[in-house]
């Protein structure tokens, strides 16, 4: 079991599955979602997603990877940040946990995540990082899984924030 933080484009990762930070209707969006759709082939991926939509915030579903390097794409709907919503931390935690559960159920050996909800969904960066790391570590510890997990970012500032958080949680 391992967790690696990488500064790379998730769509270039050679892993069994990449995780799409999706919306609940599983429609092609912007940011990471748009990039994944463009790499996988928008029409084929949208057709596959249409058969699975809608999903609840925090849930996850799996499709083929189509033209992506990854064999599969796991789609999870992160919460849109709202300071008054007491459920959103659990929903964000569930995004990672449920995606990992699907990976395990499908006998996948490696998975790459973006930092879910921390972009256009507005989740505060440090909270989003802490929830991501806690959920992934909890899953790996509870299942004793051998899956290799990557948390991918493109930004130096976010990468450094994640590394600091990992050190403080160690």
Query: pLDDT tens-digit profile of 73-93?
Result: 999 999 999 998 989 999 999
Count other C-beta atoms under 10 Å from residue 46's C-beta.
16
> How far is residue 15's CA from residue 99's CA, in Å, rounded to a whole number?
14
pLDDT band at 101 (very low <50, low <70, confident <90, very high): very high
- Please give the pLDDT value at position 166: 86
Q: Are 89 and 131 in contact (CB under 8 A)?
A: yes
Q: Rounded mean pLDDT of 161-168?
A: 90
**pLDDT number for residue 168:** 87
What does the alpha-carbon distance between residue 132 and residue 114 come to, in Å, rounded to a whole number?
10
pTM over 0.75, yes/no? yes
Share of the chain above pLDDT 70, in %: 99
Virtual torsion, Cα 145, 52, 92, 122, nearest 10 deg? 140
Q: How far is CA 38 from the centre of its chain?
A: 17
Say if CB 147 and CB 1 are below 8 A apart: yes
pLDDT (average), residues 148-170? 91
């Amino acid at each position: 079991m391992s967790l690696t933080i990488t500064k790379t484009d998730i769509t270039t990762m050679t892993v069994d599955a990449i995780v799409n930070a999706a919306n609940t209707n599983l429609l092609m969006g912007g940011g990471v979602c748009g990039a994944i759709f463009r790499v996988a082939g928008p029409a084929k991926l949208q057709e596959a997603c249409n058969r699975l939509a809608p999903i609840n915030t925090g849930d996850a579903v799996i499709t083929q990877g189509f033209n992506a390097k990854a064999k599969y794409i796991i789609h999870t709907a992160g919460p849109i940040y709202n300071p008054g919503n007491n459920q959103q931390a659990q929903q964000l935690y569930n995004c990672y946990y449920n995606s990992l559960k699907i990976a395990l159920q499908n006998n996948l050996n490696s998975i790459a995540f973006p930092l879910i909800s921390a972009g256009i969904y507005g989740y505060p960066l440090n909270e989003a990082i802490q929830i991501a790391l806690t959920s992934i570590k909890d899953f790996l510890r509870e299942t004793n899984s051998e899956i290799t997990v990557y948390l991918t970012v493109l930004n130096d500032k976010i990468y450094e924030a994640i590394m600091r958080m990992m050190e403080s949680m160690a």
